[in-house]
Amino acid sequence: MKTLAVLIAGLIAGVAVAQVSNPSASSSPAPAAASASASASASAPAAGTGTIVHPISKNITDRLTKSTRHVDVVKIKQGDRVIETMVYYPTNKNKAMAVVLIHEIFGLSDWMQAAGDQLAEAGYIVLVPDLLSGLGPNKGGTTDLPASEVRTAIGKLPPEQVLTDLTAVTDYAKKLDACNGNVAVGGFCWGGGKAFAFATVNKDIKAAFVFYGAPMLPTADMPKVNCPVYGFYGETDRNLAAAVPAETTAMKAAGKTYDAVVYAGAQHGYMRTGQMDNTNAADKKAAEDSWKRWLDILKKIDVPAAK
């Protein structure tokens, strides 16, 4: 089993990150249906130009370097694409619910990797796909692209491709030996909007968690939503927070479950900034409260399917 290390370059935080793997932990093998297109124990993505997403945080560095959980890098085939995905496993003996996490506009950043580990620590299998897979030099992903090109590349991703990629990752998750069959999806910023959209096309997910997702789901698409949707927004993120009442009304009119909370004083991206070394009190509290709420909801929805 390969051990993966975190590489940190200084100055203004040029961060090139690989993943941490516990060689003593065991993981679920890739499901038979995906075995031809996924490697259950691949090496970490090559650290290319060192994507800069935010100043490095001791909280994030410690989590990535000291985690005792097992993480695999798998390659999931979807048509002519291969989606490189981090799979974090909880440390327990029972089968677990899987959660697909959709990254921000910054791509598969160090914070996204830390979020995957943090959710796995709570007892869930977490899959974090790099939706920029294949777009970097030599068909690499986020870490192979210059930092200045990541946001632009994500903005150009075809919406249909993103949803089919997420479908492939969700199907892979359900078939993992370690998964109990339940799968949820969550996303942050750009990924939050995609989580909401994914709820309109996939009938297998138990819930969608939208963290300050942009853009908001069009009202016309709300009747297509297949699962409960839970929103997390910062009060000072005005363009999104101000839309929550209307969105709540429209989802209710469509007969859908939508439960959104606006966190006092928090800004856009507070789940990430709330864990930075120089965070403000509002973002820190919002991040802590959101993690608790998220885990409470996951526990409630992770129930056996009716026979």
Question: Based on the structure, what is the number of domains in the chain?
Answer: 1
In this prediction, residues 132-139 reach a mean pLDDT of 89
Q: Is residue 269 part of a domain?
A: yes
Are 15 and 53 within 8 A, CB to CB? Answer: yes
pLDDT score at 251: 96
Q: At residue 82, does pLDDT exceed 50?
A: yes
Q: Is residue 306 part of a domain?
A: no
**Residue 129: strand, helix, or coil:** strand
Per the DSSP assignment, residues forming a β-bridge with 218 are: none
| Integer Cα distance of 270 and 192 in angstroms | 13
**Residue 169: strand, helix, or coil:** helix
Q: At residue 205, does pLDDT exceed 60?
A: yes
Among candidates 192, 221, 216, which has minimal Cα distance to 294? 192
How far from 84 is each of 19, 74, 135, CA to CA, in Å?
Answer: 13, 6, 11
pTM of the model: 0.83
Tokens of 72: 């695999």
Q: At residue 12, does pLDDT exceed 50?
A: no
In this prediction, residues 112-119 reach a mean pLDDT of 95
Q: Summarize pLDDT for 266-296 with one digit per residue, the tens.
A: 999 999 999 999 899 999 999 999 999 999 9
- 79-114 in b/e form (b: 16+ CB < 10 A) is eebbbbbbbbbbeeeeebbbbbbbbbbbbbbbbbbb
* Sign of the dihedral through C-alpha 51, 237, 100, 68: positive
Residue 148: which pLDDT band, with cuts at 50, 70 and 90? confident
Instruction: Please list the alpha-helical segments (H only) found in 34-109.
Output: 58-66
Q: Is residue 141 part of a domain?
A: yes
Which has more pLDDT, 184 or 44?
184
CB atoms within 10 A of CB 306: 4
Which has more pLDDT, 115 or 58?
115
Q: Is residue 307 part of a domain?
A: no
pLDDT score at 56: 61
Q: At residue 8, does pLDDT exceed 60?
A: no
Q: At residue 243, does pLDDT exceed 60?
A: yes
**Residue 226: strand, helix, or coil:** coil
pLDDT score at 57: 83
215 cis-preceded (ω within 30 degrees of 0): yes
pLDDT score at 306: 54
Q: At residue 136, does pLDDT exceed 60?
A: yes
pLDDT score at 305: 60
Q: Is residue 1 part of a domain?
A: no
Q: What is the mean pLDDT of the chain?
A: 83
| Integer Cα distance of 154 and 149 in angstroms | 9
Q: Is residue 239 part of a domain?
A: yes
In this prediction, residues 143-157 reach a mean pLDDT of 92
| Integer Cα distance of 29 and 175 in angstroms | 10
Q: At residue 218, does pLDDT exceed 80?
A: yes
Q: Which residue range(s) make up the domain with 114?
A: 6-301
CATH of the domain at 184: 3.40.50.1820
Amino acid at 33: A
pLDDT score at 114: 93
In this prediction, residues 214-227 reach a mean pLDDT of 89
Q: Is residue 167 part of a domain?
A: yes
